[in-house]
Chain A
Amino acid sequence: MISVLAIGLVLVTSLVIGVYGVRAARSASDFLVASRRVTPHWNAMAIAGEYLSAASMLGLAGLVLKNGVGAMWYAVGFTAGYVAVVALVAGPMRRSGAYTVPDFAEYRLGAPRLRKLCGLVVLVIMLLYLVPQFKGAGVVLSLVSGTPYWVGVVLAGVVVSGSIAAGGMRSATYVQAFHYVVKLAFIAVPAVYLVAVAGADTRAEALHPEWGTRFPETTPVEFTVGTRFHLEAPVTVTDASGAPVELAAGEHTVAAGTEYVFPAGAGVPHPAGLPELGGGQWRTPLLGTGGFALFETWSTLLAITLGCMGLPHVIMRFHTSATAHVARRVGVGVIALLGLFYLFPTVYGLLGRVLTPQLVLLRGTDTVAVVLPAEAAPGTAGTLLTALVAAGAFGAFLSTSSGLLLALAGGLSHDLFQGSVPRLRLAVAVGACVAVLMALPVEGIDINVLVVWAFTVAASTFCPLLVLGIWWRRLTLPGAAAGLVVGAVTATGAVGWSILAPTPPGWPAVLLAQPAAWTIPLAFTTMAVASRFTRPPDWAEHAVLRLHSP
């Protein structure tokens, strides 16, 4: 109940800031203050606030618990993305005056059709990114209120499109900056508290996972989905009726709805395909569990780092800076703010392995940040902490998804159709509906897998477009179009295939699941080669010069 209240409070506050945070000045002498531009600090906080999504709050902690310490590379990538943004695109984008990537494409290459193509790619990326956000919101809402998953997802869709319709995003800068503070406070305070109350033993165990993972106390595990898992040693569990069941070492398959109570101290079984919690593979600081871990790590890092600059809602925020110089300073600020934030999801992941290992069996690792406080600190403190984390996660969902939804709606109404205001509202509603419908069937897929999908597509499409558009005069219209199409089709298709359909084993599976390492170079090459055979527009020289002249 407290959690629901806390979530409501975050929602109401951001609505109020959104509508009234448009700075008011009543007397003429205040007038100048009002028209002063937003400071870099606010802007950096706004960017960080919009960027830190449910993937960061929930997904990262969940992945550390499930796949091991290698998942920390995600945090590295999410932050390093801004290094690439600051170094390559922030300044020139600001100088171009372009608000969105399609704007930039039109500025640089000047063709309405390319604009439409870019709008289409924006649509794909934004939808892929929105789906995990809605999934996160659905998971959190259903956890704190006890409703089914789909109710949470639908509710989240209604809330976010409603808050946009109510004008809650009018002053996006202040709303998003507020959300950064909410997220940081609501994840950091419980984390620090949990570390303090966890006790020396738990802390030591969290940091030194060499002796595998055992249930900390008698733990009932209700398998909501059918699971196949592996036991290292035989164990006697009790089933729903209280009768003891003897489980031998080795593979076991349980049907959905089975309930086992594991005794305290029993080794935690690990589901098929996942590393043993705290085992050697879990401890290896690489992403991926197969024989291609190094490749998977590189590919994911590449996708996240380069994908960041291709995310339409990220690029937009630099438009708010007064000059290119300020835009770069803002970017540096963002790196610091993100670095601070990403310390905390890891804490939940590491503590979660010790205190709530059963989540791995339930395929519910994305919920670890919300479930953990109640386990670690029973009673009122735990309830309060759960409320804080839930509200923070919901804030993460709200800020990111309203930014995404607005970007998506803008792309729909502005780039794809010549739109008016009612169209924009309609586009928000349509976008939310589609995202909700797509989020319903993905309950079992990790948030981060979906997020990396969005990043991979962004890195294989807009990253080459922006980098070549800014740094290479010879980029041509057909070249850009060809690169965009090739990048979008290969990246979307490969990951989609690996998620939705069975893949051939071995190298092909890895290349399909983590395609960034080949789709990004492919998109770059296509753009470059196709540009070589066509003529750049007459104004290319002039347009590029403007991007770089101070």
Chain B
Amino acid sequence: MRQVHALGLDLQDGLHGRGAPAAARRLRRLLAVDGVILADLDGPVAGHGRRVGSSYVDGLLAQVFEYGGGTRGRLPDGTAVYAVPLMVAEELSGALVAVGDPVEADVEAAAALVAEHLDHAALRRARARIAAADLRSLRAQISPHFVHNALAVIAALVRTDPDRARHLLSDFADYLRYGFSDKGDYATVADELEATQTYLELQRARFHDRLDITVRMAPEVLPVAVPFLVVQPIVENAIRHGLERKEGRGHISVSGYGEGPLCVIEIEDDGVGMHPDLARSLLAGTGPESRGVGLANVDQRLRAVYGPEYGLVIETALGEGTKVTVRVPRFTRGVVAP
């Protein structure tokens, strides 16, 4: 069992990953044969044990790929060879070749196992691609509502308060540049705050300054790297669903501090709040269409990067305001701000 599990780890980056030679070695031991060759559609990618002339292997592989099933062969010195195609998700994507009197059923079982691991590797890559696409969609999501509102506000101010309009316009430009930048998947807390600030400036103008903002940041968390666009969507959610519908002045506070090895960011508003069940469904991504996917997306990305225990925490009740807490490790391997 341990060998099978280790084989899965070896193949976690696919046939072209750095674990392929180790996988070949492990397969040779499992099958108890002289040599093992792993091949993709272009030819051998990894092998272990007894070497076989490349022209012979190429011929055998061509035969396997054409026939699509287990193929027997014999080396010039009479050693038996058995080659089995690797069918990943019902698609031919390589072959497993065993040299030296292999038990054919074993080789077929091993090939099925390898194919399954390769399938998992492909799924893992797909998941990463989906996460990246999610982020892109979140970036794209900034635009319609917000761009329209921001421009409308600026247009309204152009005559009455041209200075402020100019200021806001440059904020808007900064904000767009940040939102559309493709420098990487991570940014420092300081960068995130700056983007949030420009966003809040624009929203304040729209609210005719009936929006109060408090920011409290312990300086030691400012250089911490976090996933790109984590703070702003939460702030946006607080304004759109908490404060916009509230009568009178609204208050939003963003605070951050260190807690041992963790970095904590809290976004709190005194808006209309929501039912805890709604908050739960929002995080699950099953909330009403009108609420957008901002929170669910942030939550998913945090979990994907840091692990399931580091998702968003929402504390809320109807009429009681909302507090969203982001709690992430200060350092995680691979999370580096450019």
Contact = CB atoms under 8 A, between A and B. Distances in A.
B216 interface: yes
B320 interface: no
A61 to B, nearest CB: 32
Nearest to A110: B333
A538 B260 contact: no
A173 B219 contact: yes
Interface string A394-414: 000000000000110110011
A445 B169 CA distance: 67
Interface in A249-281: none
B218 interface: yes
Given A31-B197, A37-B219, A37-B222, A103 B331 contact: yes
A200 interface: no
Contact of A173 (B212, B220, B225): B220
A26 B218 contact: no
Interface string A153-186: 0000000000000010111111000000000000
Interface in A516-550: 538
A380 interface: no
B330 A99 contact: yes
B194 A35 contact: yes
Interface in B94-127: none
Contacts of A87: none
Contacts of B220: 38, 171-173, 319-320
Given A322-B223, A421-B259, A538-B18, A35 B217 contact: yes
A24 B216 contact: yes
B140 to A, nearest CB: 26
A37 to B, nearest CB: 5
A42 B219 CA distance: 10
A300 B261 CA distance: 31
A23 interface: yes
Contacts of B215: 24-25, 31, 34-35
Given A98-B331, A320-B223, A410-B260, A35 B214 contact: no
A365 interface: no
A207 B103 CA distance: 90
A229 interface: no
A414 B218 contact: no
B329 interface: yes
B222 A38 contact: yes
Contacts of A167: 257
Interface residues of A, number: 45
Interface string A413-443: 1100010110010000000000000000000
Interface string A82-103: 0000000000000001111001
Interface in A438-458: none
Interface in B255-271: 255-262
A99 B261 contact: yes
Nearest to A407: B260
Contact of A100 (B331, B333, B337): B331
B309 A420 contact: yes
Contacts of A110: 333
Nearest to A323: B223
Contacts of A319: 220, 223, 330-331
Given A35-B193, A35-B222, A24 B309 contact: no
A182 B310 CA distance: 38
Interface in B185-205: 190, 193-194, 197, 200-201, 204
Interface string B324-335: 000101110101
A47 to B, nearest CB: 11
A97 B257 contact: no
B327 A22 contact: no
Contacts of A25: 214-216
B219 A409 contact: no
A110 B333 CA distance: 8
B213 interface: yes
A170 B333 contact: no
Contacts of A172: 218, 220, 258
A464 to B, nearest CB: 21
A516 to B, nearest CB: 28
Contacts of B329: 99, 414
Contact of B218 (A32, A98, A173, A406): A173
A526 B319 CA distance: 63
Contacts of B260: 406-407, 409-410, 413-414, 424
A107 interface: yes
A27 B213 CA distance: 6
Contacts of B327: 421
Interface in A234-255: none
A106 interface: yes
Interface string A303-347: 000000000000000011110000000000000000000000000
Most buried by B among A35, A173, A413, A418: A35
B218 A35 contact: no
B274 interface: no
A466 B103 CA distance: 51
Contact of B331 (A23, A27, A99, A424): A99
A418 B218 contact: no
Interface of B: 18, 190, 193-194, 197, 200-201, 204, 212-220, 222-223, 225, 255-262, 307, 309, 327, 329-331, 333, 335-337
Interface of A: 21-28, 31-32, 34-35, 37-38, 42, 97-100, 103, 106-107, 110, 167, 169-174, 319-322, 406-407, 409-410, 413-414, 418, 420-421, 424, 538
14 contacts: A22-B256, A25-B214, A25-B216, A28-B197, A28-B200, A28-B204, A37-B222, A169-B258, A170-B259, A173-B218, A319-B331, A320-B220, A410-B261, A418-B309
| 10 interchain residue pairs of minimum CB distance | A38-B219, A170-B257, A410-B261, A410-B260, A103-B331, A99-B330, A99-B331, A171-B218, A414-B261, A320-B220
